[in-house]
Amino acid sequence: MDYLNKLSKSNGPIHNAVDLIQKLPITNRLTDMYKRSSKNELYFVGAATFITLYNLASFIQEKRQKLNLPPTVPFGLPYLGHGLYMLFMPKTFLDWCNSRYGEVYNLKVRGKIITVTNGKCGEESLKADREDLSLDHGLVRDTLYFQYVFEPRILEIGADITSVVAKIAVANSTMPRYVSGIQKGLETAQDYLLKEKVNVLDHPSAFFQRFVSFMSVPTLLGEEFASNIEVIESFASFTGDIIRNIPIFMLVPTFLHRPLLPYIQSPKKHHAIMEKHISPVVRQRREIMRLAKESGEDHGLEQTFLQGLIEYTDADTNGYTYSDKEVAHAVLMLAFVSAHTTSTNLSYSIYWLLARPDLMEKMMAEIESIAPGNTPIDVEILNKMTFLNNFMREELRQSAGNLGVGKKAMEDFTFSNGYQVPKGRMVESSTRQLNFGTNSIRSEVEDMDPDMSKNRTATTPAKDYVSFGMGKHLCPGRFFATQEIKMSLIYLLRNFDIKTVSGKKPTPMRRIAGTRMTNSEEPLIFTAKK
Ligand code: HEM
């Protein structure tokens, strides 16, 4: 109490401090300015002060880190940071940043600092170990919010298992045995999706997702699912349903996400469908395997991706194997990595051919000379089609986003040039820059040039071809994906005359959020040739 009395006395320290401030010349000037200024001028000065203090705070916070942090590109707007540049002029802005700040620098986007890598550091982020830079904790959790869709256990080990199984189930050497399954899938897809003489597709991306799933489901899961429409539809639409929720999660604060889930989540319905159809098959196959083991015989089950998931045993977790229910959910993980990626690239290919009649002409000429009429397609024929290969490689290069493959630093991470990013930081690779040298080069429709592939195969990664990633996380599904896309193109172009409903040349790809690529939604007409 004594202390409070002392403070409030007329000659106490608070009074003295107020007196001193009042006597300062700056105080008089500020009071004068306040009295003379209009309301709008005061708002303006207030906002400017806020922005300056905010930027100063971020600057001091960064400087306090003991790491050798990459340079942060200066920004003026507190929350938006560089967001508007990224939205409206991503190519020019990123090229300017790359040339001025080098291979690794920071940008501020929607209130967060992200690190952008290009050149050698871009390669290093693509090649990094999952324990250092993780796609699962980056794109998969921080952007797609998979933690709301999968149980923690599937999320923890799912990516590893899917990758291990994929390396065996869809290895390059297995491709010949997938040819007939893909061919059957194409025919079933036509029966369901293109059964009229004239088929108008108002929602082409949904069509391409279903089209690809008609091929992928029986080949990757097994013949018993070849005409299981519920499974095929679920496989096709799972990723789209997840992507649809992203804008909501971006707008709503994280603590409100979970209460919101019952109102927006449809991914749970996919779990129910997979449990209904996949789990009984898993139990059946496990019984066959058990009996075969008892009698010392080979179980003779087809080595599909699903079979790989069933047989997978993790030596690191005391021989842990997936339960029937977990296998069903893991199939959705497979749908995520395979259906959307393959269908968007099939769609890009069709739209590129429609946008560039000269390329369509070359493609048709190659089909007619190497696989005319109903010539059955096999791997040998595919290998002979050099234009098709070159076109695919270039289409995949063109489809890389300005930023992509967002990975989160699991620990402080050091690049070979000495720059470091702190644990928890999102690292985005400039994938288009890696493919082409800059973001702007060859970005016009007329610049698409399959000859640039120089007969290098569409499945072999290179410094200027990172569309399937690089290093140990290089996409193991690339052989399967390119085979499906190539066979689909031959099948569709041999059997249908494809045009846009508008009759105009389409734009092959759209940009979303400035830096990501997505497929065109320009309605299409498929007219059967016979
Ligand atoms: C055109 C289609 C596809 C594209 C463009 C594509 C692209 C990619 C990319 C860029 C990565 C690397 C991610 C990283 O750096 O961590 C990747 C990884 C992966 N992809 Fe694909 N992919 C495609 C199709 C497929 C298919 C059809 C499958 C399965 C059948 C598949 C299975 C996987 C798996 C399991 C991984 C993770 C590998 C690992 O982390 O070790 N992908 N894919």
Cα 206 to averaged position of ligand 1 atoms, centre (Å)? 20
ipTM of the complex: 0.99
Q: Whose CA is nearest to atom 23 of ligand 1?
A: 341
Q: Which tokens is 14 given?
A: 């608070």
CA 480 to ligand 1: nearest atom: 27
- SS3 annotation, 322-374: CCHHHHHHHHHHHHHHHHHHHHHHHHHHHHHHHHCHHHHHHHHHHHHHHCCCC
What distance in Å separates the CA atoms of residue 375 and residue 183, rounded to the nearest whole number? 12
Buried b (16+ CB within 10 A) or exposed e, 237-254: bbbebbeebeeebeeeee
Residues sharing a CB contact under 8 Å with residue 389, sequence separation 6 or more, in sequence order: 383, 453, 455, 457, 458, 486
Give the pLDDT of residue 1.
Answer: 44
CA dist list (Å): 237 to 207, 211, 302, 330: 10, 11, 26, 15
| Sheet with strand 104-109: strands edge to edge | 104-109, 112-117, 426-429, 404-409, 133-134
User: 397 in ligand 1 pocket by Cβ < 6 Å?
Assistant: no
CA 467 to ligand 1: nearest atom: 10
- SS3 annotation, 127-184: HCCCCCEECHHHHHHHHCCHHHCCCHHHHHHHHHHHHHHHHHHCCHHHHHHHHHHHHH
User: 135 in ligand 1 pocket by Cβ < 6 Å?
Assistant: yes
In CATH, the number for domain 133-528 is: 1.10.630.10
Give the pLDDT of residue 521.
Answer: 93
Give one DSSP letter per residue of 24-63, joined into a string: SHHHHHHHHHHHHS-HHHHHHHHHHHHHHHHHHHHHHHHH
User: 337 in ligand 1 pocket by Cβ < 6 Å?
Assistant: yes
What distance in Å separates the CA atoms of residue 432 and residue 454, rounded to the nearest whole number? 19
Q: Which tokens is 186 given?
A: 């194409």
What distance in Å separates the CA atoms of residue 413 and residue 238, rounded to the nearest whole number? 33
User: 304 in ligand 1 pocket by Cβ < 6 Å?
Assistant: no
Pocket test for ligand 1, best of 182, 341, 459 (most atoms within 8 A of CB): 341
What distance in Å separates the CA atoms of residue 151 and residue 163, rounded to the nearest whole number? 18
What distance in Å separates the CA atoms of residue 261 and residue 245, rounded to the nearest whole number? 10
Pocket test for ligand 1, best of 160, 343, 389, 468 (most atoms within 8 A of CB): 468
Angle formed at CA 214 by CA 213 and CA 217, multiple of 5 degrees: 65
**Nearest-CA neighbor of 218 among 276, 172, 178?**
178
Residue 9 phi, psi (nearest 5): -60, 155
CA 474 to ligand 1: nearest atom: 12
Q: Which tokens is 29 given?
A: 């000037």
Is residue 138 within 8 A of residue 427, CB to CB? The reply is yes
What distance in Å separates the CA atoms of residue 400 and residue 433, rounded to the nearest whole number? 9
DSSP 3-state of 508: coil
Q: Whose CA is nearest to atom 40 of ligand 1?
A: 473
Cα 251 to averaged position of ligand 1 atoms, centre (Å)? 28
Is residue 307 within 8 A of residue 301, CB to CB? The reply is yes
pLDDT tens, N- to C-terminus, the chain (530 residues): 454 455 555 566 666 766 766 777 767 777 777 777 777 777 766 666 666 666 666 666 666 668 999 999 998 787 788 989 999 999 999 999 999 999 999 999 888 899 999 999 999 999 999 999 999 999 889 888 888 888 888 887 788 889 999 999 999 999 999 999 999 999 999 999 999 999 999 999 999 999 999 999 999 999 999 999 999 999 999 988 888 888 888 788 888 888 888 887 677 899 999 999 999 999 999 999 999 999 999 999 999 999 999 999 876 666 778 899 999 999 999 999 999 999 999 999 999 999 999 999 999 999 999 999 999 999 999 999 999 999 999 999 999 999 989 999 999 999 999 999 999 999 999 999 999 999 888 889 999 999 999 999 999 999 999 999 999 999 999 999 999 999 999 999 999 999 999 999 999 998 877 778 888 999 999 999 98
Buried b (16+ CB within 10 A) or exposed e, 310-319: bbbeeeeeee
Map out the domains of the chain as residue ranges: 133-528
User: 154 in ligand 1 pocket by Cβ < 6 Å?
Assistant: no
